[in-house]
Amino acid sequence: MRNWLNIPVTAWTGAALLSAGVAALAVGLKLGLGLNGENIATLALLQIAAVLALAIFSGNSGIVSFGHSAFMGIGAYASGLLTMAAAAQKSALPTLPAWLAGHETGLFVALAATAGVGVIAGVISGLPLSRLSTSSAAIGTLAFLIIIHVCLVGARDITRGSQTFYGVPRLTTLWVALAAAVLMIFAARLFRETRLGLALRASRENEVAASAIGIDIRRARFWAWVASITCATLVGALYGHYLGAFSPRDFYFDLIFTFIAMLIVGGLYSTSGAVAGVLMLALVIQLLRKAEAGLGLGFVTLPQVFGLPQLGLGLALLLTIWARPTGLAGLSELRLATFTRRPDEAPPQPLTQPARPKPAGQALSVRDVSVRFGGLTALDRISFEVPMGQVTGLIGPNGAGKTTLINVICGQQRPTAGSVTLGGTTLSALPAHRVAAAGLARTFQNIRLFDRLTAMENVAAAAERNGRSRAEAEGIAMAELTRMGLAPRWNEPAAAFAYGDRRRLEIARALALSPAFLLLDEPAAGMNPAETERLIETLEGLKAERDLGILVVEHDMRLIMRLSDRMVVLNKGQKIAEGTPDQVRADPAVIEAYIGTKRHTNDQQGS
């Protein structure tokens, strides 16, 4: 069995292994070092939980969040208000609104309420955040940090403002912290593999390509943010019950910087990395704390020097960025195979796609499409049809308007006039991420793969879009990889593939969407003649096998003449010819556009 509850079994075993390791370390510390070991372990476990809550959003989306520490603060205050003894509350918070006062709940009731607060906070902050571009979103999280800090300081009746909020019972024992860490390990590790997690990781690697396979990036970011923030408020509540007394300052820049440092040192891209980062830095800090009290080395005694832990933290960060930019763990996750040194998972069995029900006479039609940028007319009333079961070639010299036309067809550019329809759907009115579901898949001129995802994940991310289960999506992905001759390398990251294989992987990803139409944007660009020949063979096979309308944009005349059933020629924004390759080849307007006018040639001869 490869999947359980729609999530790969390796993720479950990986999370279990990681949890077992962390638990063994914590218990070992307690048994070996007594109360001190217990203290060290409790704080480290809370840090693991906090960093994993951060990793759910930042690790998968690639957007570093500076706001999480502030949301932890919200959790700490919310939960602290509920668990606080009534007498302590009266003296600490004399002006507390009555509905908040005197609950004296247990930890678990308080955590349940805090989760509710976390969801609300996540939704409110996630709405604006998910609308921001990747780079602005990081700055947006910084704004949340500042806004929440100001609100916590301002809400004096509830939080005592900048004064210490005290009297919070210290309920976070080693076992509570261990439970939190284990739950967060499972949550973070499994989340990566959910449909949402995979979609988010794909968007992290390449936003345009993610949209093209039908991923609604805003939606993915929104829900991941809500989940991540809810976890952060819960961990914050436990951190509050560990501290016992705190103020908004304790949840400000310093805290989030520590967590981000841990995440970067360990590795932003894997759950195991986040855990490794916390353990590594916790170890560095604890060792240097011992060392700073003065160290006897037998022959010399080092003097007492304070500040060693910070120095160590800075050095660790610097060394990581220099030597291992993806962090200690890089892209790898802890799994059984890490110990057994043999592959622990069999490749999924290829699964043939069920035939897509195709409405008769469906075609991709471009109707009177015009695009004007200010005074410049990029496309002028272009019309043509891409029929099912045929290859349509689109050619034109540089600047003819091919790229603009592709952007219009794929929903990335709104036409000034006219429309592009597929069956009954107007593609040109859809946002880019809904074009795939309408039946159009595409590849890109400058290959856009999800580089740090495996070949399988690249293709499965697309196959999963049609509401398929993980197992089904992997089966289809395997079939497409096999078709493209990439099956033996299914578990390697896309970045490791050679140029020609990257092209094929991109085509496999597009085909996994089971599209009615496939748009290939300069598929032979950058290929040598041998690679081009292989590509032509692949595409000819595809044409024979599948009932698929293909639109190829290409400069390589040999390829396009051999492959196309019909051709459309653009020049300076206008369609100048349409017909079979032979007709187009003989068309004087095409010859003029590509070679120049006869008169021009005569002049040259005459001179």
Partner 1 sequence: MTRLGRLLSYSATLALLGGAALAEDVTIGLATAQTGGLAFADQPSLAGFQMAIEEINAKGGLGGKYMVTLDIKDTRSDTGATVQAAQELVAAGVKVLITPCDADPSIAAGQISQAAQIPTLTFCGTTPTITDAVGDYMFGTYPADNGQAALLAEHAIAKGYKSAYILKSPDSAYTLRLPEYFAEAFTAKGGTIAGEGSYGLGQQDFAAEVTKIAALNPPPDVIMTAAYEPDFPAFLKALRGAGVTAPVLGSDGIDSPTTTGLGEIANGIVHTTAGFAADGTPLGDFYKRFAEKTGSAPETVYVATGYEIPYILDAAVTAAGTMDGPALRDALASLEGVTVLTGTVTYKGTNRMPSRDITLVEIQNGARTPILTATPDPASVPAP
The contact set with partner 1 (CB under 8 A) reads 34-36, 39-40, 43, 91-92, 153-154, 156, 161-164, 166-167, 170, 239, 242-247, 249-250, 254, 289, 292-293, 304, 306-307, 309-310
Written as one letter, the residue type at 34 is G
CB-nearer residue toward partner 1: 106 or 154: 154
CA distances from 78 to 165, 183, 252, 508, 587 (A): 11, 21, 17, 49, 76
CB-nearer residue toward partner 1: 193 or 292: 292
Q: Which of 170, 164, 167, 177 is nearest to 241 (CA)?
A: 170
CB neighbours of 243 closer than 8 A, spacing ≥ 6? 76, 168, 170, 250
Q: How far is the CB of 41 from partner 1 (least distance, A)?
A: 11
Q: What DSSP string runs through 174-223?
A: HHHHHHHHHHHHHHHHHHHHSHHHHHHHHHHH-HHHHHHTT--HHHHHHH
**Residue 206 Cα to chain centre, angstroms:** 8
Q: How would you label 290-300 residue by residue, b for 16+ Cβ within 10 Å and e otherwise?
A: eebeeeeeeee
Collapsing DSSP to helix, strand or coil, 419 comes out as strand
Collapsing DSSP to helix, strand or coil, 84 comes out as coil
CB-nearer residue toward partner 1: 41 or 224: 41
Q: How far is the CB of 147 from partner 1 (least distance, A)?
A: 13
Residue 497 phi, psi (nearest 5): -85, 150
Q: How far is the CB of 154 from partner 1 (least distance, A)?
A: 7
Is the Cβ–Cβ distance between 446 and 430 less than 8 Å?
Answer: no
Q: What CA–CA distance (Å, rounded) separates 241 from 169?
A: 6
Q: How far is the CB of 43 from partner 1 (least distance, A)?
A: 6
CB-nearer residue toward partner 1: 145 or 577: 145
Q: How far is the CB of 289 from partner 1 (least distance, A)?
A: 7
Is the Cβ–Cβ distance between 418 and 411 less than 8 Å?
Answer: no
Q: What CA–CA distance (Å, rounded) separates 251 from 248?
A: 6
CB-nearer residue toward partner 1: 66 or 252: 252
Q: What CA–CA distance (Å, rounded) separates 542 from 27?
A: 58
CB-nearer residue toward partner 1: 155 or 319: 155
Q: How far is the CB of 32 from partner 1 (least distance, A)?
A: 14
CB-nearer residue toward partner 1: 122 or 167: 167
Is the Cβ–Cβ distance between 472 and 445 less than 8 Å?
Answer: no
Q: How far is the CB of 155 from partner 1 (least distance, A)?
A: 11
Collapsing DSSP to helix, strand or coil, 549 comes out as strand
User: Kind and range of the H or E element at 303?
Assistant: none
Q: How far is the CB of 301 from partner 1 (least distance, A)?
A: 16
CB-nearer residue toward partner 1: 12 or 175: 175
CA distances from 248 to 82, 119, 147, 153 (A): 18, 20, 11, 6
**Residue 471 Cα to chain centre, angstroms:** 21
Q: How far is the CB of 92 from partner 1 (least distance, A)?
A: 7
Q: How far is the CB of 69 from partner 1 (least distance, A)?
A: 12
